[in-house]
Amino acid sequence: MFIFVYNKLTIDKFKNCVYNNIRMKIPEYLKVESAIREKIERGKLKPGTKLPSEPELASIYKVSRGTLRKALKLLVAEGFIYQIPGKGTFVTSPEDKKIEVIRKKQNYLRKINKGIGILIPCITESLFPGIVRGAEDVLREKGYHIMLGNCDVSWEKEKEYMEMFVERGVSGLIISPSFNSYLNPYYDILKKKNIPFVLTDVSINGIETDLVCSDNLKGAYEGTKYLISYNCKRILFLAGKRDVSSTKERFLGFKEAMEEGGLPLIEDLIKFGDFSEEFGYKSTKEILLREKIDGIFSANEPITAGVFKAIKEVGYSDIKIASFDEPDIPFDLNLNIILIKQKRYEIGKYAAKLLLEKLEGKKKNENKEFKKILIPPEIIEIKKNIENKKGDENEKNKNLPGITKKGGE
């Protein structure tokens, strides 16, 4: 998926438009630019040659200094010449010209486009559309438009989008990495090109930059405390790849709550695997058929979908579930469920604000320290077709900070 808003008038198109319109008088600065460029292209002016001073060139071409400077500025933008303050103007070598043209073109496009690239790993997960919306609302207020890339949890596709966005002159990037994004070498290229970017949701080992994400440790801690408050003692913990930053933080929150509740961490009930429904289904079914558990903590939305499927298939009814994000809950699943809802709009909003700060700092040549912003998640309790005494329910909720009842907030 690719959404791109792009509007530019390149130097070449502008010149062609001028030259082909016989009713329009050719501006003097274009005549000077054409004359100097022709000498360079025909080899009359060799690479490295120093051009005459501005007063001398203005006299040679019988134009004002202002007109001459416009011509020289155009030649610099095209990569034919380069200027060194205090030393003069020189003809660019063919090799340097190619590099210089690309650099000048990208800088020119960034200046006029005000485009921001946003990369997400999976558009079907509930977290990422909200991040995009939050970022877009902030960026539009400042005159920026967005370019969106859906990477399908592929670092190769992520890299392709980065290359495409940079080629089109984006001012910066907001990126929600995948678990395998550490394999993408283009992050280092972004740094070398001095293109600012902000990460959301998870960090990447070895890449230092700004990060906006949920307070995963706190969310997992509170979700686990919910399960413990309902007397769950044997809790199955399911999460994606173990080396992903969000997985590490959520496991730490789970572990902290279990230790605080005086409950042991049972190795057979701690499972790490793919961020997939299949992993959630197979792991849950295997445990349900093998031993008795009374709670499940799922650290990721796709995994939770598999948990629901396994519970329905095995026919388990006396179990409590805590899950990150907002998975689709089967209508006939009569269980108590706690959702640890990430404030996706807020994540996108703060990521955009951080990126705007970086862009402003870049203009001022400021090197600001990297920031990490943690957004506390919202805890929502869902009860389905289970009758509870209202007094007992309220008493339980008093001990659960941040817990609200869906539909009765």
CATH number of this structure's domain 9-105: 1.10.10.10
Q: pTM for the whole thing?
A: 0.68
Q: How far apart are CA 225 and CA 203, in angstroms?
A: 26
Q: How far apart are CA 3 and CA 45, in angstroms?
A: 44
Pair 316, 344: CB distance under 8 Å: no
CATH number of this structure's domain 216-343+377-405: 3.40.50.2300
Q: What are the strands of the beta sheet with 270-272, ordered from one edge?
A: 270-272, 235-239, 295-298, 320-324, 337-341, 378-382, 403-405
Helix (H) or strand (E) run with residue 198 in it: strand 197-200
Q: Residues of CATH 1.10.10.10 domain(s) within the chain?
A: 9-105
Q: How far apart are CA 395 and CA 190, in angstroms?
A: 53
Q: Which CATH architecture has domain 110-213+345-375?
A: 3-Layer(aba) Sandwich (3.40)
pLDDT truncated to tens, each residue of the chain (409 aa)? 433 333 333 444 444 443 443 333 568 888 898 899 889 888 899 888 999 999 999 999 999 999 999 889 888 877 788 888 778 898 887 666 555 555 665 566 556 568 899 999 998 888 999 999 999 999 999 989 999 999 999 999 999 999 989 888 899 999 999 999 999 999 998 998 889 999 999 999 999 999 999 999 999 999 999 999 999 999 999 999 999 999 999 999 999 999 999 999 999 999 999 999 999 999 999 999 999 999 999 999 999 999 999 999 998 878 999 999 988 888 778 888 999 999 999 999 999 999 999 988 776 666 678 999 999 999 999 876 544 433 444 444 444 444 444 333 3
Pair 176, 200: CB distance under 8 Å: yes
Chain position carrying tokens 């005000």: 114
Q: Residues of CATH 3.40.50.2300 domain(s) within the chain?
A: 110-213+345-375, 216-343+377-405
Q: Distances in Å between the alpha carbon of 189 and those of 147, 185, 207, 312? A: 19, 7, 11, 48
Q: Distances in Å between the alpha carbon of 256 and those of 237, 325, 331, 373, 380? A: 13, 20, 33, 22, 21
